[in-house]
Amino acid sequence: MRFIAILIFSGLIFAGAARAQAIAEAGLLRHIEILASDAFEGREPGTLGENKTVHYIASQWSAAGLHPAGEKGSWYAPVSLVERTPDTYRIYFANKGRGKSVRLRPDEIILRSRSPSFRQSHMPVVFAGYADLERDGLSVTGKLVLLPRKPPEDDDMPDFRNRKLKLIRAGAVGVISVVEDQDRWSRFQRFFQRGSTALADPENHADLEGLISFEQFGKLVRQSGLDAETLLADKDAISIVDLGLNADASAETQVRSYLSHNVIGKIPGTDPKRGALLFMGHWDHFGICRIEDPLEPGKDRICNGAVDNASGISLLIETAKRLSGEGQDRDIYFLATTAEEKGLLGARAFTDNPPVALEKLIAVFNADTIALSDNGQEIAVVGPAETGLDKDIGIVAAQEGREIDRSGKADAYIKRQDGYVFLELGVPAFMISSAFADEERLKAFIDGPYHDVSDEVNDTLELTGAAADANFHVALGRYFASTARYPGIATSGEADN
């Protein structure tokens, strides 16, 4: 008994000492300086910079006393990526009835194949619009589908990615997306031609994918007596439209497969049946992001990503140190994702193969781009207000002397961050920081150093808000990991575990 009492007592002293030690700017800066140094080469997935980055995070979490929660007892969960860059392609359309060919401008329809080479003739061409595949009688199997990128109004319509996935699962051989805004065609074209990276999941891609401009789409559908604008505006259309055309297409694509890694650690709770918490942030950035200019050989070519997102990783390291060893009730997971900049891919890989059942996650807190504000008081909550956690976040904010910006402006970023992957799956996910409450500095960052070589450690790096945010995350951890303070998910569910 006495022995136990001493243990508890020393535990209290330990917790008390750790609690007293708030996260300071200097503690965050130390990690940012290392992660955003030129030696880390801009933390591009699949490079030497990745090796250094994931090793640094794992060693920091290990020193903090976290347990590895990646694959096979390691800190790392492999993420297989595929980069596809269009090389050459050709496509011809012919009117089925009259056998007449339709001429399109070759620079306004671009294609890439899933495999290095694709060739197929006589593919029937259909327009999918916003048709409900479950209700529509017309099959898309073996067909080439034209799909508008965005719904006419922003409502509950499933987004482009999900509509496209449905068509692929239903057997579409190709999906060509329609860029509705002709003025933005060249931007989309450049972006597409630069290549894109995806998870190495063949089921997520059609054999042939591409883009078509609004004007060329208009030309194509006129062959069937249809009007492009009417088709695109009809969001209530429930039927897939047969365009009465056949297509012959070929495409050669550069396909590069490589491996990257998420880093996952865990603080085991004393009562893991009551659920788990997840703190996350992305470690990746753009690497050596400028081509060498022979006229300026020494010019900076590294996108170091100091704010985006060495700052978020520094929060995760320091938060883990504070929460580790406190003996919280719930499990607390820490996740550093790869390939966020390539489309939230590391986060998707995590949810595809999570170390803990997603239903057990009571809350996810994502830290991205936190080092902007000089205001340690105001915070914005990016995330759904209707989860029921809002009230509790408010309690922690009041306790920490933080004021929540409830203007909702920060929600403009909701789809542009890793937490969105969890939201799509119904897991409450939030991004809470001073940076997104500071509209002025956020805008200045996005218009300036964002995704540029100038996002690096220099005198302008502002860590006042970041340090306050890091301490706020420690407070969130203590609150939500405690079953007394946050009873959370119904205890009746416990019997199932």
Shortest Å, Cβ 368 to Zn ion: 8
Q: Which is nearer to Zn ion, 43 or 360 (CB)?
A: 43
Other beta carbons within 10 angstroms of residue 342's beta carbon come to: 19
The per-type count for the chain, helices as H runs and strands as E runs, is 13, 18
Q: Can residue 180 be called a binding residue for Zn ion (CB under 5 A)?
A: no
Q: Which is nearer to Zn ion, 308 or 329 (CB)?
A: 308
Shortest Å, Cβ 369 to Zn ion: 7
- What the block records as the tokens of 376 is 């340690």
- What the block records as the tokens of 189 is 């074209």
Shortest Å, Cβ 416 to Zn ion: 8
**By three-state DSSP, how is residue 189 classified?**
helix
Q: Which is nearer to Zn ion, 319 or 417 (CB)?
A: 417
Q: Which is nearer to Zn ion, 390 or 452 (CB)?
A: 452
Burial of 297 by CB count in 10 Å (0-12 exposed, 13-18 middle, 19+ buried)? exposed
Shortest Å, Cβ 53 to Zn ion: 15
**Cross-strand partners of 303:** 287
Closest CA to 208 of 110, 315, 137: 110
Would you give the binding string for Zn ion spanning residues 306-335, x where CB under 5 A is met? --x---------------------------
Q: What whole-number distance in Å separates Cα of residue 312 and Cα of residue 466? A: 9
Q: Which is nearer to Zn ion, 113 or 314 (CB)?
A: 314
Binding segment toward Zn ion, per CB under 5 A, in 40-48, 90-98, 110-118, 305-313: 305-313
Q: Which is nearer to Zn ion, 108 or 438 (CB)?
A: 438
**Cross-strand partners of 176:** 146, 210
Give the footprint of Zn ion on residues 340-359 (CB under 5 A): 341
Binding segment toward Zn ion, per CB under 5 A, in 132-140, 171-179, 336-344, 408-416: 336-344
Q: Which is nearer to Zn ion, 255 or 446 (CB)?
A: 446
Cβ-proximal residue to Zn ion, closest one: 308
Binding segment toward Zn ion, per CB under 5 A, in 40-48, 74-82, 146-154, 303-311: 303-311
Give the footprint of Zn ion on residues 422-481 (CB under 5 A): none
Beta carbons of 168 and 204 less than 8 angstroms apart: yes
Shortest Å, Cβ 450 to Zn ion: 7
Shortest Å, Cβ 70 to Zn ion: 23
Shortest Å, Cβ 444 to Zn ion: 16
**By three-state DSSP, how is residue 280 classified?**
strand
Q: What whole-number distance in Å separates Cα of residue 218 and Cα of residue 214? A: 6
**DSSP assignments along 341-410, one per residue:** TTTSHHHHHHHHS-SS-GGGEEEEEE--S-TT-S-SSEEEEES-GGGS-HHHHHHHHHHTT-EEE-S-GG
Q: What whole-number distance in Å separates Cα of residue 74 and Cα of residue 92? A: 51
Residue with tokens 């942030």: 281
Q: Which is nearer to Zn ion, 79 or 249 (CB)?
A: 79
Shortest Å, Cβ 308 to Zn ion: 4
Cα-Cα end-to-end distance for the chain:
31
Shortest Å, Cβ 455 to Zn ion: 9
Give the footprint of Zn ion on residues 74-133 (CB under 5 A): none
Q: Which is nearer to Zn ion, 180 or 284 (CB)?
A: 284
Q: Where are the beta strands (DSSP E) in 187-319?
A: 196-199, 208-213, 241-267, 276-282, 287-288, 302-303
Shortest Å, Cβ 337 to Zn ion: 12
How many residues of this chain interact with Zn ion, rule: CB under 5 A? 2
Q: Which is nearer to Zn ion, 210 or 449 (CB)?
A: 449
Which spans of this chain sit near Zn ion (rule: CB under 5 A)? 308, 341
